[in-house]
A and B are shown apart, each in its own frame.
Chain A
Amino acid sequence: MLVLVDCNSCYASCEQIFRPDLRGRPVVVLSNNDGFVVARSKEAKLLGIGDLEPFFKVQHLLRAHRVAIFSSNYPLYGDISHRVMTTLREFGPNVEVYSIDEMFLDLHGLQEDWSDYGRKIRNTLWRNIRMPVGVGIAPSKTLAKLANRAAKKIPKCDGVCALDTPEKWQWMQRRTAVNDVWGIGRRLTKRLADFGIETAYDLAQANPKILRRRINVNIERTIEELNGIPCLGLEEEPPAKKQIYCTRSFGEKLTGLPPILQAATLYASRAAEKLRAQKSLVKSIHVFLHTSPHEPNYYSCSVVVQTPYPTDDTRVIVRLVREAIADLYRPGCRFMKAGVGLIEIIPRALGQRDLFTPGQSLRAGQTMQAMDRINKKFGRGTLFLGAEGIQKKWKMRQAFTSPAYTTRWGDLPRVVT
């Protein structure tokens, strides 16, 4: 059996863990730069606050209903997600971290009363971490997704749904539109409608061979999975990223080149750090810069630059990015956002040397390693390139950030004694 555990309104729930006064109250979390609403507690959803609403549009509603507002606090969310994962491993060693708030757990070979077992998982996560979750249990990933959806949508399920027999999953499939099946997007839904397939049940009963020929091999897998035959295994090691992007909006619109260069330096450094963490080298870099599309004279431009040799050296990457940004910059424009993407990435082990150009020096690699180790030990940003600037005025707006309760000594929760 496979279990899919999904944290309810993950970020909003994280904000409630050390704030019992916020439990049962409307809470929202805003995206980077406080732009959009990215998480809403159940109570906030009931107020009619939609997903991804621009903050400025719903601000009056939030204030009127005294909704607790938070900027994204990734140190906290990352730690809580890690705690959820660690706790899940007590139930079975094979865990796939699908995203920060979703995890698959493989309980192959175990015989249990699955509803009871799901409840046990749910209660443990609530008790040990104070994270409310939905638990879906089924023999395949696609069915587990379906079960998880039911766990959340059907009040009687109370957060746990086990689709462990064909009768149960077929009952559910008859009541599920095909576009709610995992991996069936809008375009595919339209194509399936041409075959008269409207519900998940229709799809499960369709001939996989025919649809494979007409559509693709993935649809065949989905059909098998809907019939309880697992085709998608657990990916315990996340595959190395093929592209690494670091893009952000500035806290305020920027017209001068120096602060934009500083911001781009930081984005490039972050991307390089991630590149080294996954033991890769980069061969080409995408750099872009644009103004707000909502303002007149929208200006957007981008360029791809090649590195002289496959590299993971922050200094090389930053130099190229800064040159590119200086090229893209136009005086007089009010720039809103810049981005750096490492787009052509190869594993470090395959970093081929060229006969005519020397590759990255051993010393450069060691310097970067030392930098990463220091930053890991003493906290991110302990060592950084001076080109980032000391006072980062262009930094993201994060007006409502909560303390990093579990990762910073100075931010520990206070307990009244």
Chain B
Amino acid sequence: MKLSPLYGHGIACGFPSPADDHKEAALSLDEHLISKPAATFMARANGDSMMGLGIFDKDLLIVDRSLTPAHGDVVVVALDGQLTCKVLDQQQGRLLSANDDYAPIPIWEGQELIVEGVVKASVRYHRPR
């Protein structure tokens, strides 16, 4: 899960670059998006129920298992043996889609809801890959 640094240059010889003293660590999308690499997995979104939150079909999801899910979080749950992405409505005990075509999914009392992780970010591609 290493992305390339955003810059990298070599200076062959001659004067030392006056910029060298001001060089800072390169920006890393890895660091920005992922705080716990060992607990994070990436997944591919499949479907249209989360479009209202900007998660479209084939988007990349970055899912952190170490986070404690809170009300309103976008989470990945194990639903009917499938990994499924929904919004967690803890107050009313429901899983919500972000698309009016899909009804909320109630969590019945006594039913064990297995949250597989919290979706920290999603990545959209603006050019087909």
| Known contacts A87-B39, A128-B38: A417-B57 contact under CB 8 Å | yes
Contact B46 A406 (CB under 8 A): no
Among A20, A83, A87, A406, contact of B83 (Cβ-Cβ < 8 Å): A20
Say if the beta carbon of B81 comes within 8 Å of chain A: yes
Shortest distance from the beta carbon of B19 to any chain A beta carbon, whole Å: 27
Say if the beta carbon of A86 comes within 8 Å of chain B: yes
Residues of A contacting B46 in the complex (Cβ-Cβ under 8 angstroms): 414-417
Contact A417 B65 (CB under 8 A): no
Contact A415 B83 (CB under 8 A): yes
Complex: A415 Cα to B85 Cα, angstroms: 6
Contact B65 A413 (CB under 8 A): no
> Taking each of B38, B61, B76, B81, which has the highest tally of chain A beta carbons within 10 Å of its own beta carbon?
B38
Say if the beta carbon of A221 comes within 8 Å of chain B: no
| Known contacts A416-B47, A417-B46: A129-B38 contact under CB 8 Å | yes
| Known contacts A20-B114, A127-B65, A130-B65: A413-B36 contact under CB 8 Å | no
Residues of B contacting A83 in the complex (Cβ-Cβ under 8 angstroms): 37-39
Among B36, B48, B76, B114, contact of A415 (Cβ-Cβ < 8 Å): B76
Residues of B contacting A19 in the complex (Cβ-Cβ under 8 angstroms): 81
Range for the number of chain A residues in contact with chain B: 20 to 34
Contact A127 B45 (CB under 8 A): no
For window 13-69 of chain A, which residues contact chain B by CB distance below 8 Å? Answer: 18-23
Complex: A143 Cα to B129 Cα, angstroms: 54
Range for the number of chain B residues in contact with chain A: 20 to 34
Contact A414 B43 (CB under 8 A): yes
Among A21, A84, A127, A413, contact of B41 (Cβ-Cβ < 8 Å): A413
Say if the beta carbon of A412 comes within 8 Å of chain B: yes
CB closest chain-A residue, reference B116:
A20
Complex: A416 Cα to B59 Cα, angstroms: 11
Contact B116 A417 (CB under 8 A): no
Say if the beta carbon of A405 comes within 8 Å of chain B: yes
Residues of A contacting B114 in the complex (Cβ-Cβ under 8 angstroms): 20
Contact B38 A416 (CB under 8 A): no
Contact with A along B90-129 (1 / 0, CB 8 A): 0000000000000000000000001010000000000000
CB closest chain-A residue, reference B115:
A127
Complex: A415 Cα to B63 Cα, angstroms: 11
Contact A412 B42 (CB under 8 A): yes
For window 62-101 of chain B, which residues contact chain A by CB distance below 8 Å? Answer: 63, 65-66, 76, 78-79, 81-85
Would you list the 4 A-B pairs with minimal beta carbon distance, nearest first?
A21-B81, A20-B78, A128-B39, A86-B38
What are 21 A-B contacts defined by CB distance under 8 Å? A18-B83, A21-B81, A21-B82, A83-B39, A87-B39, A127-B65, A128-B36, A128-B39, A129-B39, A129-B65, A130-B65, A406-B41, A412-B42, A413-B83, A415-B45, A416-B46, A416-B47, A417-B45, A417-B47, A417-B49, A417-B85
11 A-B pairs besides A20-B81, A412-B60, A413-B41 with CB distance below 8 A are A83-B37, A83-B39, A84-B38, A127-B39, A406-B41, A413-B43, A414-B43, A414-B46, A415-B61, A417-B48, A417-B84
- Chain A residues with CB under 8 Å of chain B are 18-23, 82-84, 86-87, 127-130, 405-406, 412-417
